[in-house]
Amino acid sequence: MGIICFYRNVLGLFRNAKGKILRFFCGALSVTISTQLILMPVCIYYFGKISIISFVKNVIVTPLMGIILYLGIIFYMSTFIFQYAATLCSFILLLLLKLIPKSSVTQLLLFFLFLFCMRYFENKKGFIFFCSYFNI
């Protein structure tokens, strides 16, 4: 929700960034800051502290997830066409996935349910209706 609500405003803070690489990392940092704006009160309430390392970690993990997503698609498509390419993709995916902290199955299912809902209810009225219907 933080990304949806705050991303454009946070990214606007970096509008003067020059260079493709710097803009890329500013985008990743904007995603991280947008997410943390929503999560920070929850973390303070439940854990009584803020994790500063999460900003650094998420700037690395956010672009890494994009790479993993595309490699996963290439891996899936190459299994039908060229098995050696699929083997290479699976090896690279394994290395990249080891860099990312593990989540529980429940967390992953909730994440994919959230993504499905966001895609299915693209307009805000539909999503608000969905959330109010299920008391979210």
pLDDT digits (tens, 9 = 90+) for 18-41: 888 788 878 878 888 888 888 888
56: tokens are 């650094």
Q: Over 60: is that where the pLDDT of 130 sits? A: no
What pTM was estimated for this model as a whole? Answer: 0.49
CA distance 37 to 93: 30
Task: Give the residue extent of every domain in the chain.
Answer: 1-51, 61-102, 103-136
pLDDT digits (tens, 9 = 90+) for 36-95: 888 888 777 777 777 776 766 777 777 788 888 888 888 888 888 888 888 888 899 888
**What's the confidence (pLDDT) of residue 79?**
86
pLDDT digits (tens, 9 = 90+) for 78-128: 888 888 888 888 899 888 888 776 666 676 677 677 767 766 666 555 555
Q: State the CB neighbour count (10 A cutoff) for residue 55.
A: 14
Neighbouring residues of 1: CB distance < 8 A, sequence distance ≥ 6:
38
Q: Over 80: is that where the pLDDT of 6 sits? A: yes
Q: Are 34 and 7 in contact (CB under 8 A)?
A: yes
**What's the confidence (pLDDT) of residue 134?**
54
Neighbouring residues of 7: CB distance < 8 A, sequence distance ≥ 6:
30, 31, 34
Q: Over 60: is that where the pLDDT of 129 sits? A: no
CA distance 32 to 83: 36
Neighbouring residues of 110: CB distance < 8 A, sequence distance ≥ 6:
none
Closest CA to 111 of 53, 65, 49: 65
